[in-house]
Structure formats: C-alpha cells, structure tokens
C-alpha cells in the first residue's frame, strides 16, 4: 500500500508544491521503515519438524519366551535399537523395564509379561517420565504345563494341602491326572487352572506323588511333575512355657512336651522352643552338640547363644553406605553374551533407582583394573547421574576379581558399610596366572565391611562367589533374588507401613521360595551379631528373624510379635513351622543310620546328607557326609535305595502371556499391537517423530525491501523530470 502512494501522488498532483510534499512524505516513510527494521520485529509461526523414526525394542530373552513366535521387525527407513530386559532362566522383567525408561521415550516390548518380581511400580515410573510402553503380541506355540505345590516332608496323620496348577498358551486347561503311589487321587477344582487335594499319610517312608497332562505341546517335559514326600516319625520337641496357640500348632508336626524350666535330661529332644527367659548355661552343651533352639521371648539381656544382642535403639535414620563393584570384563560381556552385562547393569541400576535418598551409594567397574565411577554419596544428590553412569558401562579386558574388591576397599577405607559385588565369578587362564582366586579371598577376609556377592549369567561360578561372601561376613544371592537387596537396605526414609515384613536372605532353608507378606506388632531393639544371618526384617530394617549356627547346633531368634507369634501364625504360619523344622534339623540324626535327599529342578544339583560314607559323598563331621547328585533325567530317581524327585526347569512352568500384567501397557498410554499391525507401528512411529515447533519469523527483509522500492521510485521520478 505504501508503494501505491507514489504513482498515485504523481498522477493526482500537478503542482510542484504538492509534489515536494509527496517527496518529503516518502523520505519520512523510508526512514520509518528502516528504523522499524532495526528493532527486529517478528511474527510467531508453527512448524512441523520430522525426525528419523527410531524403534526402541525391549526384548525378553528368558526361556519362557521360546513358546512365543519371534516377529520380523525389519522396517524400511526405521532405525531399531534393541535392548535386553530379561534373559536365560531369569524373568526379572521389572528391573529390566525400570532401567530403560527415559524421559518422553516410546518403547515396544517383546515379552510374555511373566516376571519373577511382578511389575509393581512400572506404570507409575513410565507416567512420571512421560514415557509410553507399547507391546507386540504375537502368536504362540501350543503348550501346557503342570506343577504341584505342597510340603516335601511331613509326619504321619498330619493333614497336608497340595495344589496342582496348570498353565497354558491356549484356551485349553486340561484337568491333570494325579496319582499317589500309583493310585489315582480325586481332585477338587478350585478354578479354571487350579485343582487341589488334602492328604494325611498314615505310614512312614517316601510317598510318590505325580501329576500329568496329556497334550501335544512345545515343551514335552513340563507336562509331568513329580513330588517325593518323605513321611517321617514325629520328632520330640520341648517348649519352655505354657502350651498356648504356638504349642497347638506345633503338636501337628511334633511330639511336644512342656516345661517351665530346663530339665536335666534333654537327650530325647531335637530342639527347644523357648517362649520365656532361660539360663543359657543349661542349654549351651545341648545346642553345641547339634541340637536346635528357637527363641520367641523378649530379648532384654545378652545371651551368647542367641544370634542377636539387645540394643538401646535410637531414632537414627541414616541410610546405609554401599559400594557397588560391577564386573565389566569380557567374561560377562561376550562369553555369556551381552545379556550377562545387561543383567549386571540391571541389578546395580535397580538398586540405585529404588533405595531411599539418604543411602550413600557409589560404584566401581573392574576388568584388569578397577575404575571408579563414583564415590559413595547420598542418593538425594547423585541418583540420576549414578544411574546414567552405570547404564554406560562397557565390557573390555580380562577378569581380575581382586582388583574390584581392592578398589572398593580403598574407597571405603575403614568405614563401616557394604560392598555388593555383581559378577559371574568366572576365573579364566590369565586370572589364574595372576592368582585372582587367592588374592580375592585375601581381600574378602580382611574387609571391615559386609561383602554381598550377586551371581549373573548361566555359567556363574557360585562356589567362588559364595566363598567370597562367607569370608566377607555377607551372603551370596543369585541374580534372580537380587531384588531382596532393595528390602535389605530399605532403611531410613523408606515409605512403608510400620510393621511390614519382608525376606532379606532368600537362600536360607527357612526363607527359600517363601514370600513373606505380613505385618507384626512391635519389635525388640536388637542388633544381629557378626556371623548371624538376618533372614526377615521390617521395611525399616529392624531384624525380625535371625539365625546362626552355634557349634553344631542351630539357633533362631524372633525379635518381634508376642511369645506365641500370634500375628505371624495367623498370616504366615509357614515362616514359624519352617524355622522350627530348620532348628530340628535332620529328624533321623538320633538314628544309627539315616539318609536325606533334597529334591530339585533342572539347572540345580540335588543335595545329599547321610550318616554313611556312600560313594560320591565327603565327610563334613562325625557320622555326617554330604554331596551333590546331578540326575540324568527328570522323574523319580533313587540314591542308595531312597527315592527323590527331579523336575523340569522352573522357567518353563509359567508359559504364555500373563494377561493380568497387560494393564501395565494400557496404563502408560501404550498400545498392544498384533502381528498384523506392522503398518500402524510405522505410522505411530512417524507420528511420534513429528514435532510441532513454534518459530519466530523476522520481518526485517520485508521492511527493508519496501524502503528500497520507495527510494527507487523516488529516484525514477527525479530522472523522468530531470530533477536532482
């Protein structure tokens, strides 16, 4: 419009005076346009940017995934980033997912959603990070599995409850056939997938219980399950105190006598259950010679025989000091596959991610040397950075385990704390040459800190890692049980209800396979002694059940609830009965000849103990020999005339998609795709790659161009009229 004024003025105005006014006006307009351009005016515009689409695939490579068809995920012009979240005989899916969540991320999960730990907290973490979890659900191979749960040992005429569970990748859940010593058992149907029966065995000896399903499935071995039930004579038990509810329960499995004081002759009793104070001088010899003691009374005075000492107690909420030692050598990176180092990183990441913020955590990675990632700092300051650094660990070099332990020792110096070593424990030729086995044991034995070892990989050296943990007054955990670390150190700032209990050490006989979900009223202020095993604790870290070996005997102490353990007997009675059973020990030990065999599953060894030196056993103590058996096939097997059971690998028991966990996907805003949705996956990826961007578009060019045209028009006019 400004440009149109010039020719209009030229045509419409005839006098020089008017022309002069127009020329002065053009100069003013030109100057104004230049000044306006110098102020850099702009307008906002919306622009759509298209990034290259990337597909982040989270892969579950656990054994149960063998029945899930592997999809083709090759898309043109789409980059695929594959990350392993579970592998081998471990379905630790939860930690794998938690470790891979990034801000605003979008993921495609390939998994059957079977998880050892469940998926609690995953969807919340995805929402907190504005991330989305999608899932590709493919067809499955037809397969059905069966398993039996219930007691392996019992006594005559005690009623036992057995449950038979059926898992299927189809809509078929065939009723299992169950036999007891070859005779068919009548089952009660609990629901579509579960049957049960009760049995009170009338005679002693091993009873053969077998459950079978006839089905042409992918895994043939998981259609038969065997359970050898050893029915033994009731051991004699002494209860110090009145009968009470605890005595009522124990009488089901034991021949129980009651007394208010310790009798002179204890030889007939396998264990004592003390509900009240006692004079320990009267039981020290009895226990140290190989008998048991379970204490449920108040712990107010020091007793050398108990695995805990009374403490004054305080309101200290300081967290633990923890140094993570992560094996990043080639043995965890290549020989075991990338899954092993992924598993190591997963464990360390999960611990850092979930502990309360007042715990001080640092990390070291090691190969032939130790490399400091971070000194211990409160997680309130270094959580995110430490998680990022742990995720970036790469494998290289050989395995010198002593270097990792020495690195942690140097960082912690003489400070109290905990060292958690995550490794496969493998020692290769170069490690043998430098003596890493002996040097590692030397470091572990002198550590002032507790050493906890966590074994990763299918070929993990459990013996070596267990030996290190024992020397370091700690414990060994399989990778599958590493989630217990979170509970062990969940103190000071933990957001949990007072009185809630959880398993700390899942490798002990008492807690093996036991998921304690109970609450109790109050705790005694106690501290576990050096060498004691803290098995169950509160969410605040208060010990509840602690055990140790006293001489040849076994001692356990409950430091909470009432002397009858009323709350626990109502909610988790198996915790009490297992504790007493452990304290009783071998119920045949007072016999001249005895043989015990622990049933197992593929991937595990069968443990044997005996009063006789059978071939393959080694002497552990007088009249006690132990060893391990590796059966060639599943089923009922015999060793020296005694029957035991050996079953298929636990990982292929729960097969098919866990549909209950599918809501985790939808709750993050994700989509469950089918194999026919390839085009939709690409389309959604492209949509996710599109970003709306608000930009500022400057008007300088247009303003200066307008000023230039006015100047040129004025010059043209002057030329035409012969004016300067």
Taking residues 318-325, report their average pLDDT.
84
Q: What is the largest CA-CA distance in the chain?
A: 140
What pLDDT, on a 0 to 100 scale, did the predictor assign at position 337? 45
What pLDDT, on a 0 to 100 scale, did the predictor assign at position 7? 46
Nearest to 318, CA basis, from 350, 376, 360? 360
For residues 393 and 375, what is the distance between their CA atoms, to the nearest angstrom? 16
Round the average pLDDT of the chain to a whole number and report it.
Answer: 82
Write down the pTM of the prediction: 0.59
What pLDDT, on a 0 to 100 scale, did the predictor assign at position 223? 92
Q: Which uninterrupted H or E stretch holds 207? A: strand 205-212
pLDDT > 80? residue 482:
no
pLDDT > 60? residue 194:
yes
What pLDDT, on a 0 to 100 scale, did the predictor assign at position 513? 72
pLDDT exceeding 70 applies to what percent of the chain? 86
For residues 492 and 229, what is the distance between their CA atoms, to the nearest angstrom? 44
pLDDT > 50? residue 12:
no
pLDDT digits 0-9 by tens, 213-243: 998 888 888 999 999 999 988 899 999 998 8
- In angstroms, how far is the first alpha carbon of the chain from the final one? 26
pLDDT digits 0-9 by tens, 617-640: 999 877 889 999 989 899 999 999
What pLDDT, on a 0 to 100 scale, did the predictor assign at position 594? 87
> Order of strands across the sheet with 672-674?
79-88, 54-62, 106-110, 132-137, 672-674
Length of the chain: 724
pLDDT digits 0-9 by tens, 64-116: 888 888 887 776 677 778 888 887 776 778 888 888 888 888 888 888 888 87
How many other C-beta atoms lie within 10 A of the C-beta of residue 171?
6
For residues 308 and 533, what is the distance between their CA atoms, to the nearest angstrom? 10
Q: Is 73 exposed, middle or buried (0-12, 13-18, 19+ CB in 10 A)?
A: middle
pLDDT digits 0-9 by tens, 669-707: 888 888 777 777 777 766 654 455 556 667 677 767 877
Better-scored residue on pLDDT, 300 or 625: 625
Three-state SS at 688? helix
For residues 37 and 698, what is the distance between their CA atoms, to the nearest angstrom? 9
Q: DSSP string covering 99-119, please?
A: HH--TT-EEEEES----TT--
pLDDT > 50? residue 2:
no
CB 232 within 8 A of CB 588: yes
Contacts of 192 (CB under 8 A, 6+ apart): 173
Report the relative pairing of strands 271-274 and 236-240 from DSSP bridges. parallel
How many other C-beta atoms lie within 10 A of the C-beta of residue 492?
17
Three-state SS at 80? strand
């Amino acid at each position: 419009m400004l440009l149109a004024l010039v020719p209009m003025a030229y045509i419409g105005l005839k006098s020089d005076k008017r022309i002069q006014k127009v020329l002065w006006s053009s100069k003013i307009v030109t100057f104004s346009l230049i000044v306006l351009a110098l102020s850099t005016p702009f307008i906002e515009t919306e622009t759509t940017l298209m990034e290259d689409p990337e597909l982040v695939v989270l892969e579950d490579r656990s054994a149960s995934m063998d029945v899930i068809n592997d999809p083709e995920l090759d898309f043109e012009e789409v980059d695929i980033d594959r990350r392993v979240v579970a592998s081998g005989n471990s379905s630790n899916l939860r930690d794998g997912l938690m470790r891979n969540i990034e801000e605003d991320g979008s993921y495609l999960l390939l998994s059957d959603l079977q998880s050892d730990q469940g998926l609690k907290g995953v969807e919340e973490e995805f929402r907190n990070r504005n991330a989305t979890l999608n899932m590709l659900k493919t067809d499955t191979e037809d397969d059905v599995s069966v398993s039996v749960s219930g007691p392996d040992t019992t006594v005559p005429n005690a009623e036992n409850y057995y449950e038979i569970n059926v898992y299927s990748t189809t809509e078929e859940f065939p009723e299992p056939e169950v036999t007891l010593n070859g005779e068919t058992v009548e089952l009660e149907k609990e629901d579509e997938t579960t049957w049960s029966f009760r049995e009170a065995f009338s005679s002693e000896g091993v009873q053969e219980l077998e459950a079978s399903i006839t089905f042409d499935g992918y895994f043939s071995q998981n259609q038969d399950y065997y359970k050898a039930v050893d029915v033994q004579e009731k051991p004699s038990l002494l209860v110090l105190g009145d009968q009470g509810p605890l005595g009522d329960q124990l009488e089901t499995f034991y021949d129980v006598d009651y007394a208010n004081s310790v009798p002179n002759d204890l030889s007939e009793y396998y264990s004592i259950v003390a509900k009240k104070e006692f004079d320990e001088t009267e039981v020290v010899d009895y226990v140290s010679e190989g008998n048991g003691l379970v204490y449920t009374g108040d712990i107010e005075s020091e007793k050398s025989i108990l695995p805990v000492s009374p403490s004054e107690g305080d309101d200290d909420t300081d967290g633990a000091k923890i140094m993570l030692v992560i094996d990043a050598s080639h043995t965890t990176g290549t020989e075991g596959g990338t899954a092993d180092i992924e598993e190591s990183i997963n464990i360390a990441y999960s611990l850092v991610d979930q502990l309360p913020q007042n715990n001080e955590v640092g990390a070291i990675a090691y190969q032939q040397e130790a490399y400091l990632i971070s000194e211990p700092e409160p997680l309130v300051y270094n959580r995110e950075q430490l998680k990022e650094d742990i995720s970036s660990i790469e494998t290289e070099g050989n395995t010198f385990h002593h270097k990792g332990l020495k690195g942690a020792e140097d960082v912690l110096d003489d400070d109290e704390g905990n060292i958690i070593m995550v490794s496969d424990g493998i020692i290769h030729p170069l490690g043998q040459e430098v003596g890493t086995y002996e040097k590692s044991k030397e470091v572990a034995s002198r550590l002032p800190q507790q050493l906890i070892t966590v074994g990763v990989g299918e070929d993990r050296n459990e013996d070596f890692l267990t030996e290190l943990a024992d020397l370091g007054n700690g414990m060994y955990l399989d990778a599958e049980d590493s989630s217990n670390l979170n509970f062990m150190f969940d103190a000071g700032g933990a957001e949990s209800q007072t009185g809630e209990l959880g398993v700390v050490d899942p490798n002990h006989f008492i807690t093996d396979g036991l998921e304690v979900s109970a609450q109790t009223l109050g705790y005694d202020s106690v501290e576990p002694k050096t060498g004691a095993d803290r098995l169950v604790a509160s969410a605040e870290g208060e010990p509840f059940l602690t055990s140790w070996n006293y001489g040849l005997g076994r001692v356990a102490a409950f430091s909470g609830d009432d002397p009858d353990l009323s709350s626990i007997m109502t909610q988790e009675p198996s915790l009490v009965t297992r504790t007493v059973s452990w304290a009783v020990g071998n119920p045949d030990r007072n016999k001249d000849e005895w043989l015990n065999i622990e049933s197992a599953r593929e991937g595990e060894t069968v443990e044997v103990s005996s009063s006789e030196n059978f071939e393959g056993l080694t002497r552990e103590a007088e009249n006690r020999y132990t060893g391990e058996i590796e059966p060639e096939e599943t089923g009922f097997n015999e060793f020296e005339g005694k029957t035991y059971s050996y079953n298929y690998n636990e990982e292929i028991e729960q097969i098919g998609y866990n549909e209950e966990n599918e809501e985790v996907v939808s709750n993050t805003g994700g989509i469950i795709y089918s194999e026919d949705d390839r085009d939709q996956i690409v389309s959604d990826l492209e949509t996710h790659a599109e970003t709306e961007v608000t930009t500022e578009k400057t008007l300088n060019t247009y303003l200066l161009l307008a000023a230039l045209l006015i100047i040129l028009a004025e010059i043209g006019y002057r030329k035409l009229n012969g004016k300067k």
